[in-house]
Amino acid sequence: MLTDPVHRSPALRSVARRATLGRSLGLLRSFPLEQADPDAFYSGLARDTVELVADLWAESGDRPARPGPGPDAGRLPGLTVLDVGGGPGYFSDAYAVEGARYVSVEPDVGEMSAAGLDQTGSIRGSGMALPVRTDAVDVCISSNVAEHVPEPWRMAEEMCRVTRPGGLVVVSYTLWYGPFGGHEMGLTHYLGGERARRLYERRHGHPPKNVYGESLFEVGCADGLAWARDTDAADLLAAFPRYHPRWAWWLVRVPLVREVLVSNLVLVLRAK
């Protein structure tokens, strides 16, 4: 049984033009670099994420971004973007290029300083209890964070709270039953999270960075769609597979199949 076509939303017109097979293959090739070459991986992911936000704002922002001085003001001038789980700081420069005021919230001090980058504008705090006032930002985004917290929809509600009415909330996360659900544990997560952890330790001699049940949790596609449709804090504008080419976005509509093949789901909402 197919669900409603949230992947055909007008909010995705600009995103769809960029969702090519070439982009998908480029991102796929970068995934193994996350731990081997984090600079290359996170810099590329940061550019892709900022382009996603700029495309979504161009179609669904409730007001134009305020033009800055000069021709190089970027696509997000005058907007405040809160990044929940911003990590080691690679995203700050990418948002600055587009003229946005960027603030990140990250609970892990080690993660914040891992790359040795400038942490100006970073706040230490939990995504499930954001240390940010209500209605404070124009855009709130979390990218590959929901699967790392025990209460992802509590975090999503917090993201809606801190976003002003009319602003955008973007939740992008890795699905547990997708091929990348186990993160560095590979496909062994299909044998179960605990077994995957033990197999990783046996092979590498140390625990994985993402420990099942502690810093990695099972989150599905249907879970996110149900929350986005039911929340009173925002209206669902669109949902689509983040890393797929446009012609494969229909997968988000097919129950069960989407849990394995969507891989990473993006939920786009307008805060009330």
pLDDT tens track for 183-211: 999 999 999 999 999 999 999 999 999 99
pTM for this model (two decimals): 0.91
C-alpha radius of gyration, the chain, whole number? 18
Do 79 and 49 lie in one domain? The reply is yes
Do 107 and 163 lie in one domain? The reply is yes
Is the distance from CB of 94 to CB of 46 less than 8 angstroms? yes
Do 50 and 111 lie in one domain? The reply is yes
> Is residue 73 included in any domain, yes or no?
yes
Do 108 and 203 lie in one domain? The reply is no
Q: How many domains does the chain have?
A: 2
Do 153 and 241 lie in one domain? The reply is yes
Helix, strand, or coil here: 142? strand
Note the pLDDT tens digit of each residue in 173-183.
999 999 999 99
CB neighbours of residue 199 within 10 Å: 17
Q: Residue 115 above 50 pLDDT?
A: no
Residues contacting 188, CB < 8 A, separation 6+: 182, 195, 196, 199, 200
Q: How far apart are CA 208 and CA 51, in angstroms?
A: 31
Do 10 and 130 lie in one domain? The reply is yes
Phi-psi region of 7 (alpha: psi -120 to 50; beta: other; left: phi over 0): alpha
The average pLDDT across 216-227 equals 97
| Pairing mode of beta strands 101-106, 122-124 | parallel
> Is residue 35 included in any domain, yes or no?
yes
Note the pLDDT tens digit of each residue in 147-171.
999 999 999 999 999 999 999 999 9
> Is residue 1 included in any domain, yes or no?
no
Is the distance from CB of 165 to CB of 272 less than 8 angstroms? yes
| Pairing mode of beta strands 234-241, 101-106 | unpaired
Greater model confidence, 41 or 269: 269
Whether the CA torsion 131, 135, 139, 141 is positive or negative: it is: positive
Do 110 and 210 lie in one domain? The reply is no
Do 265 and 196 lie in one domain? The reply is no
What is the per-residue pLDDT for 1?
A: 45
The average pLDDT across 260-271 equals 97
Do 56 and 75 lie in one domain? The reply is yes
Do 169 and 196 lie in one domain? The reply is no
Is the distance from CB of 176 to CB of 189 less than 8 angstroms? yes
> Is residue 124 included in any domain, yes or no?
yes
pLDDT confidence tier of residue 40, bands split at 50, 70 and 90: confident
CATH of the domain at 70: 3.40.50.150
The average pLDDT across 26-31 equals 81
DSSP-H helix ranges across the chain = 13-18, 21-30, 33-36, 38-60, 90-97, 109-113, 152-162, 193-204, 221-230, 257-261
CB neighbours of residue 259 within 10 Å: 19
The domain of 22 spans 6-177+218-271
Do 69 and 193 lie in one domain? The reply is no
Do 78 and 201 lie in one domain? The reply is no
